[in-house]
Chains A and B, each alone.
Chain A
Amino acid sequence: MSLLEVKGVVKRFGGLVAVNDVSFSIDEGERIGLIGPNGAGKTTMFNLISGYYKPDKGRIIFDGRDITGRRPYEITKLGVGRTFQIVKPLSNLTVLDNVAIGALLRHPDVNEARKRAEEVLKLTGLYEKRNMRAGSLNLPEKKRLELSRALATEPKLLLLDEVVAGLNPSEVDELLKLLREINESGVTILMVEHVMRAVMNISERIIVMDYGVKIAEGTPQEIASDPRVIEAYLGREEL
């Protein structure tokens, strides 16, 4: 059964069509990559799924429920966790409190939420920095904080917006290993990523967008050899 269904979604900003009639569906437990050149509409797609934008047309079904036009916090409660490409740490709070606030969604007791947050931080490798002010972390750490916070809300579907960007190769491998573990524990993952090595490595299936339109969908091998995808990234060969 599909966990997320996006059906003919359209989003316009003034005259610009950022997402144009895009449809896809994701099954429970999958790892899906969403790729495309800059301005393809990937982050807009994320904002549509997580409720930050309302689609002009089309429907979004999550876990059997129509979530089209629902508010972001309602969608989080239903089980969609997300990270932000432009990180949004709760800067003046500690790393632990950032994650504990996420955990409070399912564990209203503060002490219980803090315990949950510590477990999440041990998993994501930020435990040593738990008492630091979130604003003082470096960028890769802030990205991991985004991931930790989203995980703490105990999502069924995790939307990751460029969490790998800015990491060095060994950190990338470490994070990919972590994402596999998270996926194996039952969390479906949809990730937007520019680092091709990472997205090809981890995705079971890849969706490609260009100029707001879905241009291809398939396994990493299929995508890598798809002429439309190559054209989108490298341009048409001039004769």
Chain B
Amino acid sequence: MLQFIKEGLSGKNGQYFAIVTAVMLVAPLIFWKLDLPFAANAMLLCLMFSIMAMAWNLLEGYTGQLSFGHAVFFGVGAYTTMILMLYYGVTPWIGIFVGGLVAALVGLALGVPLFRLRSHWFALATIAVGEIFKLIFISWDYVGGSAGLQSPIVPEEQKLYYLQYAGSYVYIYLALGLLGLELLVMYPLVKSRIGYYLQAIREDEDAAMSLGINPFKYKMVAMFFSALFTGIGGGIYTVRFRFVDPFAVFDLISVSVYITIAGILGGIYSFVGPIVGSFVFVPISEYVRVYIVSRFPRFYGLHVFVLGVILLAISLLAPEGIMGWLEKKGYLKKREESGEVGEK
């Protein structure tokens, strides 16, 4: 475990990592001092989507299973955290992790039927599952039905217990900590035997089986960790916005597809690609949503149009995402030393 992390942080990579970490730690202080709530909120969303896009990419980039249904895990994580807090008085410090775990168990249960399907059939089925979850939660009274659930404002002395703070500043540090935890889990995972096996499954399932790999078993492992951290992303959403409703958290476009675009934009063959993608895509989308759409209300839905433009730009200019493009331009070390990397 530690050995992989040590290797990963050796040389230039370690320097980049230190610089980025320092910037991330200082940025919210600057936003706070200069009173920039929009920037702080955008940064929080970037981190939240980083956590989820990286988790999503364990399934897509490493295992080759394209999911358009990660809103399921996001929503389950968000609802679990909320219900534990609201009905049972459980602190979100625990609830967020329970939410992740419940999402992971849902992932395993869904994996049994879903992984019987290959390639685009799998992708289509994940869309259907996402919509089914939305409908179930809309008509489920225990979780507040279509109105959703809202947590009340708590008195000053309970702020820490219920993780309730004004603005996004404190939550940025929470999200940073959780992203750090995810890196600590994911990096050794993809560098170990499991990571190699996942890639073998992505490349060719028949060949993988001839090498002693049980594709179903390892897809389930990928699903577990993917759903776990996506559910944790949902928990962050709950504590930040204190309000969950089925239309928001199970939304196909603004959750499932956003995660997908962040991942693809950053580059699915890169470990940190989804983080880069989130930090490029989420601010653009937020800017369009908050400033442009609010000024021209007749153009509601413009932020979805922007998605289309961005997708078009990726497919034309950088089919392997930002990280793939940087590799090709020679700003980053190539995955193979020979330089014979072709277009996929």
A residues touching B (Cβ–Cβ < 8 Å)?
50-52, 71-73, 76-77, 81-82, 84, 88-94, 97, 100-102, 104-105, 108-110, 113, 131-133, 135-136, 149-150, 152-153
Contacts and interface: CB of A to CB of B under 8 A. Distances in A.
Contact of A72 (B209, B337, B338): B209
B156 interface: no
B338 A132 contact: yes
Contacts of B199: 90, 92-93, 97, 101
Given A52-B209, A76-B210, A149-B210, 5 more contacts: A88-B206, A89-B204, A94-B336, A104-B197, A149-B207
B336 A84 contact: no
Contact of A100 (B196, B208, B210, B338): B196
A158 B342 CA distance: 32
Contact of A101 (B191, B197, B337, B340): B197
A101 B342 CA distance: 22
Nearest to A137: B340
Interface residues of B, number: 28
Interface string B173-210: 00000000000000000011100110110111011111
B340 A153 contact: no
A148 to B, nearest CB: 11
A71 B206 CA distance: 11
A132 B212 contact: no
Contact of B207 (A51, A89, A132, A136): A89
Contacts of A52: 206, 209
Contact of B338 (A73, A92, A105, A133): A133
A47 B85 CA distance: 55
A71 B214 contact: yes
A136 B342 contact: yes
A100 B203 CA distance: 15
Contacts of B342: 133, 135-136
Nearest to A77: B212
B210 A104 contact: no
A90 B191 CA distance: 17
B341 interface: yes
Given A91-B203, A135-B342, A101 B211 contact: yes
Contacts of B208: 73, 90, 101
8 contacts: A51-B209, A73-B210, A76-B210, A94-B336, A101-B200, A104-B193, A108-B193, A131-B337
A90 B338 contact: no
A91 B269 CA distance: 13
Interface string B201-230: 011101111111111000000000000000
A108 B193 CA distance: 6
A131 B206 contact: no
Nearest to A81: B210
Query: 8 nearest interchain CB pairs?
Result: A90-B203, A88-B207, A72-B209, A105-B212, A76-B212, A131-B337, A88-B204, A102-B211
Contact of A73 (B196, B203, B212, B337): B212
A132 B336 contact: yes
Given A72-B210, A73-B209, A149-B211, A136 B340 contact: yes
B12 interface: no
Contacts of B329: none
A184 B207 CA distance: 26
B219 to A, nearest CB: 13
A201 B142 CA distance: 75
B209 A71 contact: yes
B234 to A, nearest CB: 32
A152 B211 CA distance: 9
A28 B342 CA distance: 43
A150 B337 contact: no
A21 B57 CA distance: 47
A133 B203 contact: no
B116 interface: no
A73 B204 CA distance: 13
Contacts of B338: 131-133
A73 B200 CA distance: 13
B344 interface: yes
Nearest to A135: B342
B193 A90 contact: no
B316 to A, nearest CB: 21
Contacts of B269: 92
Most chain A beta-carbon contacts within 10 A, residue among B197, B211, B213, B215: B211
B83 to A, nearest CB: 40
Given A92-B203, A133-B340, A105 B211 contact: yes
